[in-house]
């Protein structure tokens, strides 16, 4: 029993890397342009479909295909921002919500139309292999989830904290008008941020496709995970977002153990409710960029 | 809002004519017209409730399916499990959803803007998943509401039309009240409204409860018509997609807008029939385009061009003769 509990918590920690990564994208979009990007989950699933349905069947090795998916999704996120979402900014909270929700509906149903509602997953040798730690076996794919998730977080923090681009992004986030006076074009920054966000989503989508089965509707599920990770972690803190991911993944896996697998999804939602009741500011409120 | 309005008698005549056409449906229409108009009436009423929140109270939500599911299940459980009559269970739906809106609002109001929109969706998901795991309501396989089958379809029609007119009257009355003025002030500038003495939280909660009770009542009617309910459909996010489409295309922040939007939606649904995916792609794409090109929707365009409103709720500042140029 104790071993099973430790195994579940360890698995939760590792899966939390993927959840944190899924939340990061939403956090970046909100951090720079104050928009809750409702199509984020569908971009993640779009990346997963692009990999599994379009690239892998061509005989492209999974790793090479993943290296194609990420820049393509950067371009998709950039273009959506530049040509659609960007035009809805600056007129209150409603227009960007309606626009990103509309994009979400279009993406989800286009996937449904062209890729059908069949369950998909990335067939790799990783799926069945495991790493033994004493009497516990951990799936290799979850260790990769965690390592890649932490790697992406580190990379993002480095970009935001130490590069000229990161400085411009943070300046736009703090005060777009003053940033413009300093020669930073906020619309360009928003498009770059949306591109980075979609690229993190693409990495998340690749990992998701190797970790579990997915459907066109998984986009909504992923959006809710991202939202919950951000709310639990604390709005505006990338590191908090990551901790939120770990907490939620642990809650889901524990609930799957008891009371049972059909409760795992609802467990994450209930954690969010508890956070809203007892700690509405989240785990780590507004610290890092 | 300085544009000229339609004269009061003309507005009354147009409204009366529309009501008369609807009331005389048995004379000019058959079963097809009846069922189309029932669907139109409940969509228009649902969109009216969403518009009260998003268009007037600044509470953009993608979680109204919570109250749709709960209203529907109140009817189903009331009829099938408790043994209430159809119409008592129907009335109970408004009470249950209105009462539940208080704790839900208290919790979700802690989230701002877009996070409120998604937070409400999460609460609806909790209920969708829980009802799917609840054997008392037959889990995810759903319930038939047998007593509802004996309801006369024309009675259902008049209740649907009555409900739509009632919701329009409710929204107009709310907006013309002191609380309504507070709502619009909050939507335009929350901090400034609070500074001028509007009880922001209380006024928002009032709007939230009214919208929840109205939505629950309409959902109960939908369930009488179906007469079947299932958690995945009743608590589905598609409801939010539909009502937001209707309010946005028709015209947010206008009373006519959701009615126009519902009419367009019903026509679209008939045209696109068949495939759900294509229908939803069109709904999503049109919402995006309208939001970018004509954010005030059809009613907004008409109002900007000709200054026509059928249900004016904006206040006009009193004109003083001595200040006139």
**Is B118 at the interface with chain A, CB within 8 A?**
yes
- Per the CB < 8 A criterion, the answer to whether B38 and B45 are in contact is no
Q: Which residue of A has its CA nearest to B133?
A: A262
Return left, alpha or beta for B297; rule: phi > 0 is left, psi -120 to 50 is alpha, else beta.
left
Class of domain A8-278: mainly alpha
**Is B293 at the interface with chain A, CB within 8 A?**
no
Domain contains B78:
yes
Domain contains B44:
yes
**Is B173 at the interface with chain A, CB within 8 A?**
no
Residues of chain B contacting A27 with CB distance shorter than 8 Å: none
- My answer on whether omega of the bond before B29 falls inside 30° of 0, hence cis, is no
**Is A97 at the interface with chain B, CB within 8 A?**
yes
Domain contains B40:
yes
User: Of A30, A34, A269, which has the smallest distance from its Cβ to B126's Cβ?
Assistant: A269
Residues of chain B contacting A223 with CB distance shorter than 8 Å: 118
- What's the pLDDT at A192? 95
In B80-139, the DSSP E strands lie at none
Domain contains B257:
no
Alpha-carbon torsion (B91, B92, B93, B99), positive or negative: positive
Residues listed for chain B: 325
Give ∠ CA A100-B242-B293 in degrees, rounded to 5.
50
Q: How far is CA A277 from CA A235, B61, B107, in A?
A: 16, 19, 7
Condensed to tens digits (0 to 9), the pLDDT of residues B79-123 reads: 999 999 999 999 999 999 999 999 999 999 988 888 999 999 999
Q: Could you give the CA distance from residue B44 to residue B156 in angstroms, rounded to a whole number? A: 16
- Residue A85 Cα, gap to closest chain B Cα (Å): 9
Domain contains B46:
yes
Quick check: helix, strand or coil at residue B236?
A: coil
Residues of chain B contacting A266 with CB distance shorter than 8 Å: 125-126, 129-130, 133
CA atoms within 13 A on the CB side of B324: 5
Which residue in this structure is represented by tokens 């309010």?
B247
Residues of chain A contacting B118 with CB distance shorter than 8 Å: 36, 38, 223-224, 227
Q: Could you give the CA distance from residue B304 to residue B4 in angstroms, rounded to a whole number? A: 10
Residues of chain B contacting A84 with CB distance shorter than 8 Å: 288, 292
The number of domains in chain B is 1
- Per the CB < 8 A criterion, the answer to whether A135 and A3 are in contact is yes
Give ∠ CA A43-A47-A48 in degrees, rounded to 5.
120
End-to-end CA distance of chain A: 41
Q: Can you give the C-alpha Rg of chain A in angstroms?
A: 19
User: Of B108, B114, B283, which has the smallest distance from its Cβ to A105's Cβ?
Assistant: B283
CA atoms within 13 A on the CB side of A96: 24
- Per the CB < 8 A criterion, the answer to whether B264 and A100 are in contact is no
- Residue A231 Cα, gap to closest chain B Cα (Å): 8
Q: Which residue of B has its CA nearest to A86?
A: B292
Query: Which range of residues forms the domain containing residue B52?
Result: 31-236
User: Of B118, B126, B276, which has the smallest distance from its Cβ to A270's Cβ?
Assistant: B126
Q: Which residue of A has its CA nearest to B247?
A: A98
Which residue in this structure is represented by tokens 């049972």?
A260
Residues of chain B contacting A94 with CB distance shorter than 8 Å: 54, 60, 252
- Per the CB < 8 A criterion, the answer to whether A263 and B132 are in contact is no
Condensed to tens digits (0 to 9), the pLDDT of residues A235-263 reads: 778 888 889 999 999 999 999 998 888 89
Burial of B319 (0-12, 13-18, 19+ CB in 10 A): exposed
- Residue B88 Cα, gap to closest chain A Cα (Å): 32
The answer on pLDDT for A204 being more than 70 is yes
Q: To probe the interface with A, which of B58, B63, B119, B122 has the most A CB atoms within 10 Å?
A: B122
Tokens of B169: 């009257």
pLDDT in tens, chain B (325 residues): 444 556 778 888 888 888 888 888 888 888 889 999 999 999 999 999 999 999 988 899 999 999 999 999 999 999 999 999 999 999 999 999 999 999 999 999 988 888 999 999 999 999 999 999 999 999 999 999 999 888 999 999 999 999 999 999 999 999 888 888 888 888 888 888 888 888 889 999 999 999 999 999 999 999 999 999 999 999 999 999 999 999 999 999 899 999 999 999 999 988 887 568 899 999 999 999 999 999 989 998 888 888 777 777 766 655 555 544 4
The one-character DSSP state at A130 is: E
Instruction: For residue A229, give the nearest of A250, A246, A209 by alpha carbon.
Output: A246
Domain contains B216:
yes
Instruction: For residue B216, give the nearest of B96, B89, B53, B299 by alpha carbon.
Output: B96
**Is A95 at the interface with chain B, CB within 8 A?**
yes
Domain ranges of chain A: 8-278
Give ∠ CA B107-B246-B123 in degrees, rounded to 5.
20
Residues 114-143 of A with CB under 8 A from B: none
Q: Could you give the CA distance from residue A250 to residue A201 in angstroms, rounded to a whole number? A: 21
Burial of A258 (0-12, 13-18, 19+ CB in 10 A): exposed
- What's the pLDDT at A53? 94
Alpha-carbon torsion (A238, A242, A244, A248), positive or negative: positive
Q: What is the pTM for the complete model shown? A: 0.92
Residues of chain B contacting A31 with CB distance shorter than 8 Å: none
């Amino acid at each position: 029993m104790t071993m099973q509990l430790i195994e579940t918590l360890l698995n939760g920690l590792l899966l939390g890397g993927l959840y944190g990564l899924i939340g990061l994208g939403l956090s970046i979009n909100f951090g720079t342009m104050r928009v809750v990007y409702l199509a984020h989950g569908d971009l993640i699933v779009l990346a997963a479909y692009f990999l599994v349905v379009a690239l892998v069947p061509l005989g492209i090795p999974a790793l090479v295909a993943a290296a194609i998916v990420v820049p393509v999704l950067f371009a998709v996120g950039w273009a959506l921002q530049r040509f659609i979402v960007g035009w809805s900014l600056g007129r209150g909270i409603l227009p960007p919500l309606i626009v990103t929700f509309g994009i979400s509906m279009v993406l989800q149903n286009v996937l449904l139309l062209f890729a059908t509602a069949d369950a998909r997953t990335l067939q790799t040798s990783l799926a069945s292999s495991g790493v033994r730690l004493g009497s516990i076996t951990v799936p290799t794919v979850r260790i990769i989830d965690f390592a890649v998730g932490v790697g992406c977080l580190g990379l993002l923090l480095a970009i935001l904290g130490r590069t000229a681009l990161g400085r411009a992004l943070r300046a736009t986030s703090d005060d777009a008008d003053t940033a413009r006076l300093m020669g930073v074009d906020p619309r360009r920054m928003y498009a770059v941020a949306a591109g980075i966000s979609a690229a993190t989503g693409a990495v998340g989508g690749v990992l998701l496709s190797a970790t579990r089965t997915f459907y066109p509707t998984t986009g909504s599920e992923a959006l809710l995970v991202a939202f919950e990770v951000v709310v639990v972690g604390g709005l505006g803190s990338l590191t908090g977002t990551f901790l939120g991911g770990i907490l939620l993944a642990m809650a889901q896996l524990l609930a799957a153990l008891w009371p049972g697998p059909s409760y795992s999804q609802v467990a994450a939602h209930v954690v969010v409710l508890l956070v809203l009741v007892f700690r509405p500011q989240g785990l780590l409120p507004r610290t890092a960029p | 809002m300085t544009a000229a309005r339609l004269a009061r008698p003309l507005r009354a005549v147009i409204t009366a004519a529309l009501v008369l056409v609807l009331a005389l449906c048995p004379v000019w229409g058959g079963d097809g017209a009846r069922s189309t108009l029932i669907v139109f009436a409940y969509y228009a009423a649902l969109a009216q409730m969403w518009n009260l929140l998003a268009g007037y109270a600044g509470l953009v939500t993608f979680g109204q399916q919570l109250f749709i599911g709960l209203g529907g299940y109140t009817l189903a459980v009331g009829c099938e499990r408790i043994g209430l009559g159809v119409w008592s269970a129907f009335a109970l739906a408004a009470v249950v959803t209105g009462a539940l809106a208080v704790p839900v609002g208290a919790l979700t109001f802690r989230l701002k803007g877009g996070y409120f929109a998604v937070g409400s969706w999460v609460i609806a998901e909790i209920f969708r998943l829980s009802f799917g795991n609840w054997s008392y309501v037959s889990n995810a396989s759903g319930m038939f509401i047998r007593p509802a089958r004996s309801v006369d379809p024309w009675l259902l029609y008049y209740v649907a039309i009555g409900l739509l007119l009632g919701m329009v009257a409710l929204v107009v009355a709310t907006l013309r009240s002191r609380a309504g003025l507070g709502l619009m002030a909050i939507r335009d500038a929350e901090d400034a409204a609070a500074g001028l003495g509007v009880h922001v939280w209380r006024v928002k909660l009032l709007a939230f409860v009214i919208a929840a009770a109205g939505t629950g009542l309409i959902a109960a009617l939908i369930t009488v018509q179906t007469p079947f309910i299932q958690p995945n459909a009743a608590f589905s996010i598609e409801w939010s997609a539909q009502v937001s489409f209707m309010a946005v295309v028709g015209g947010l922040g206008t009373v006519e807008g959701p009615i126009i939007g519902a009419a367009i939606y019903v026509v679209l649904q008939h045209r696109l029939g068949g495939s759900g995916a294509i229908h939803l792609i069109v709904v999503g794409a049109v919402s995006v385009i309208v939001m970018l090109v004509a954010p005030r929707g059809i009613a907004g365009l008409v109002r900007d061009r000709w200054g026509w409103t059928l249900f004016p709720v904006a206040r006009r500042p009193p004109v003083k003769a001595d200040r006139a140029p």
